Structure 1
Amino acid sequence: MAKAFGAEIPAQFVAEYPQLLAEVSATGRLPRREELEALRDLGEKAGESGHGLRELIGLYVAETRRLWSELPGVAKAAGAVERARTGDAVLAALEAAVAALGEGHERAQRLAVRQAEAERREFIDDLLYGRSDLGRLAERAERFGLRLARAHAVAVACGGPDADGGGYDDVHPLVRRIERELLARFGERDVLLTTKDGRLVCVAPADEQPVLDAFAALAERPGPGHTGARRIALGREHSGPGGVVRSYEEALGALDIAEGLDVPARRLNAADLLVFPVLLRDRAAMADLVRTVLGPLSDTRGGAEPLLDTLHACAAAGYVNAEAARRLNISVRTLTYRLARIKTLTGYDLSDGLHRYTLETAAMGARLLGWPEAEV
């Protein structure tokens, strides 16, 4: 075994080098193309074997020093000028050898990085979609710093980081910055930060709520030069390997619901929106409710949209007419007229508790289903 800087490297990585130096010292020639390619291959093999580039270069420098006095050209040099010329040739060969070794070593490192990235992406896809055996998934998770036996929660940010809200990707500087900030604040705490389908995803243990809060704050206010997330949704905590999938799906569902209902809040909790998955569980029944209750609004001049907006504003204002009129930027008289039209067209009266609940539910369903723009 050859030694360099205290690290052992097999002799095979330097076996042909003494012969190369001997010929260079004797003839003054530069290393040939095939010799440099062989050195690149050695550098690549050394990288694949786990040997560092510093160790490898140290080995070649040490070998050059060890052989120096024994090289034919050095030993036979007649004077100072010839010794200097021979020394320059040997050092040029060393420089070329080191460069070739470095190229090969970098080749191995790039391949290793690509393989690691591919494995990480495959793991993340399996983790968030639950496509792998749960036992095997838990084993793989430990390589990426996750212990899936614990309860986890998932936060998802959408929108940004580009000026046009084009979405997040793994190589964007903002993603790396948020990752560095979280690591600096909390260290290695069973946390995974990644991107998926243009969204930024943070997986953290359920008992590490400060991590998720910090993630949301960084996504909302990323600092100068970056666009903050449009919305951040937090799924509920769930245990086991399948818990991450459930929490992730809940967060995605919360984002979809908020988009459909045009919820103004930037931070969302899936637990606060559980009523909507219940309402949409039977989509056909919801569509039937919308058609039956709100369908007559389409017969009015101007279409159903203004009257539908009136229902949403009244519900948001707690059925205080003055506040609802202010939100709609209309007069209270106009609001009263619209409410009367709703009662006449649908037969439902907002002053009746059951009627009010029916109209509210139908109005929410209309937004979630995209009615009246889309047929239901």
Structure 2
Amino acid sequence: MYDDLFADIRQSDVVVDRLRAELPALAAAVAADVGEPAEAIAPVVGHVLDALARPGRLAEGELARLRGEGSAAARAGLPVQAPIDRYLSTGWVVWAHARQLAPAIQPELLAALGAALLRAGDDAAAALAAGYSEAERHLAARAGATRRAIVDELLDSLPLDPAATARLAQRAALVGLDPATAYRLIAIRSEAGFEDGAAPIEEVTRVLARSPGRKSYLVAPRQGDLFVVLADPWPAAASLAEIWTAFDDLAGWWAVRGRPVAVTALGGAAAEARAGLDTVRRLGRSGELVPLASIALDRALAADQRLLAEGVGAWLDPLLAAPRGGEALVATVEAWLAAGQSVAGAARVLGLGARTVSYRLERIAALLDRPRLDADARLHLAAALLGRRLIQGPPA
């Protein structure tokens, strides 16, 4: 009933014309309510009155304009309530003025005006919120893309001149890193890899965010690995220990940490960490944080795979090519070296008799064309066994 009655009013513009004559007063009242200048509010009041002059719901053109207004508010950094309040406040002010018009509006027509104002307010609020949300998503995506680009640059770049170094320092500040602070990089690798939004990444971020006295930090997945960049020294050792609980549900993970470096040297630190992860994985050192300095010798051995394979072959191929039990000979010398050259210790590990182990060691010396396994032979065999692990990875 109200829609039909108010449709007649819109056609004659009787009520709307009377309200339009009050536009300066309406704008002033709305401006006082929302705390904005009247000249900024007057167009909003005009839009509401224009909508009341047209029958039915708000037209698509008007909804598109409102979505654009919501989008502009988001881009200006205003809360979503700011544009919505202008329209809701306008509805209440228009209603209050309509009730005070003289001569008075007929009650049934006044009720129809109220219903139209409520409906227009709902439509306006929904359109403003939709535009605001869409802009927020776009801004968040753009900010995320910008942040990822900066992180990629930090973890990839090796600045070669002062200008490039200065630019990289400025870029680091955009993601919250202090160019004047030294940082320690931790790299983690898992069987499944890490992607944005993965549960372990969120947990690590939460742990660091609530760390007492925390300094600047960065948590970012990169090429399947997870990089954690921490200001050095990090003030809360307990939070660093808590980080590793984030990986409890992973089938396997490996981690390395480097030495403190300038923020502009993180690219080199990341490349070193990735190489270190390759090494600790081959060494089978899962579930622990390994200092890169402690595997420097291992990484040096693995640096030239062709040369390493040639050296390993020179010492182990004669054993593996033996007519009987080549792998058993390798296992024997490895157990003997691990036991501190104790025949009895190796025998216990292998489940063999001491005489059998002694016989095998004599045979190994003969295959290597040596009278005995002296210090030089022992050092080279230990290096060859380590090189074999670096080439093949840990035993299954």
TM-score clears 0.5? yes
Instruction: Identify which of 231, 240, 243 aligns with 1:218.
Output: 243
1:109: how far off?
0.6
Alignment correspondent of 1:33? 60
- The structure-2 alpha-carbon separation of the partners of 1:23 and 1:55, relative to structure 1 and needing over 3 Å to count, comes to closer
Alignment correspondent of 1:155? 186
Q: Secondary structure at the match of 2:57?
A: coil
- The structure-2 alpha-carbon separation of the partners of 1:25 and 1:239, relative to structure 1 and needing over 3 Å to count, comes to closer
Alignment correspondent of 1:238? 261
Q: Unpaired runs of 5+ in structure 2?
A: 1-26
Instruction: Identify which of 318, 321, 325 aligns with 1:299.
Output: 321
1:138: how far off?
0.8
Aligned-partner residue type, residue 128 of structure 1: L
Q: Unpaired runs of 5+ in structure 1?
A: 160-164
Q: How many equivalent pairs are there?
A: 362
**Whole-Å separation in 1 of the counterparts to 2:368 and 2:135:** 71
**Whole-Å separation in 1 of the counterparts to 2:324 and 2:129:** 72
Preserved contact between residue 28 and residue 86 of structure 1 (Cα < 8 Å): no
Which digits, 9 at most, give the CA deviation of each residue in 1:309-357, with x for residues without a partner?
A: 4444334333334444454555545544443342232235774111111
Pair member with larger Rg: 2
1:126: how far off?
1.2
**Whole-Å separation in 2 of the counterparts to 1:89 and 1:180:** 48
Aligned-partner residue type, residue 114 of structure 2: G
- The structure-2 alpha-carbon separation of the partners of 1:304 and 1:134, relative to structure 1 and needing over 3 Å to count, comes to farther
1:79: how far off?
3.6
**Whole-Å separation in 2 of the counterparts to 1:73 and 1:26:** 19
1:69: how far off?
4.0
Alignment correspondent of 1:162? none
Preserved contact between residue 254 and residue 287 of structure 2 (Cα < 8 Å): yes
- The structure-2 alpha-carbon separation of the partners of 1:359 and 1:238, relative to structure 1 and needing over 3 Å to count, comes to same
Preserved contact between residue 5 and residue 55 of structure 1 (Cα < 8 Å): no
Which digits, 9 at most, give the CA deviation of each residue in 1:109-149, with x for residues without a partner?
A: 11111111111111111111115632111111112121233
Q: Percent identity?
A: 27
Q: Which moved more, 1:315-324 or 1:128-137?
A: 315-324
**Whole-Å separation in 2 of the counterparts to 1:298 and 1:89:** 91
- The structure-2 alpha-carbon separation of the partners of 1:41 and 1:9, relative to structure 1 and needing over 3 Å to count, comes to farther
2:295 counterpart of 1:267: no
**Whole-Å separation in 1 of the counterparts to 2:80 and 2:301:** 61
- The structure-2 alpha-carbon separation of the partners of 1:290 and 1:223, relative to structure 1 and needing over 3 Å to count, comes to closer
**Whole-Å separation in 2 of the counterparts to 1:110 and 1:344:** 73
- The structure-2 alpha-carbon separation of the partners of 1:301 and 1:117, relative to structure 1 and needing over 3 Å to count, comes to farther
Instruction: Identify which of 207, 210, 214 aligns with 1:184.
Output: 210
CA RMSD of aligned residues (A): 3.4
- The structure-2 alpha-carbon separation of the partners of 1:306 and 1:54, relative to structure 1 and needing over 3 Å to count, comes to farther
Q: Secondary structure at the match of 1:146?
A: coil
**Whole-Å separation in 1 of the counterparts to 2:196 and 2:287:** 26
**Whole-Å separation in 1 of the counterparts to 2:252 and 2:70:** 44
- The structure-2 alpha-carbon separation of the partners of 1:227 and 1:354, relative to structure 1 and needing over 3 Å to count, comes to same
1:184: how far off?
0.7
Preserved contact between residue 208 and residue 214 of structure 2 (Cα < 8 Å): no
2:86 counterpart of 1:59: yes
2:195 counterpart of 1:169: yes
Aligned-partner residue type, residue 386 of structure 2: M
Preserved contact between residue 315 and residue 381 of structure 2 (Cα < 8 Å): yes
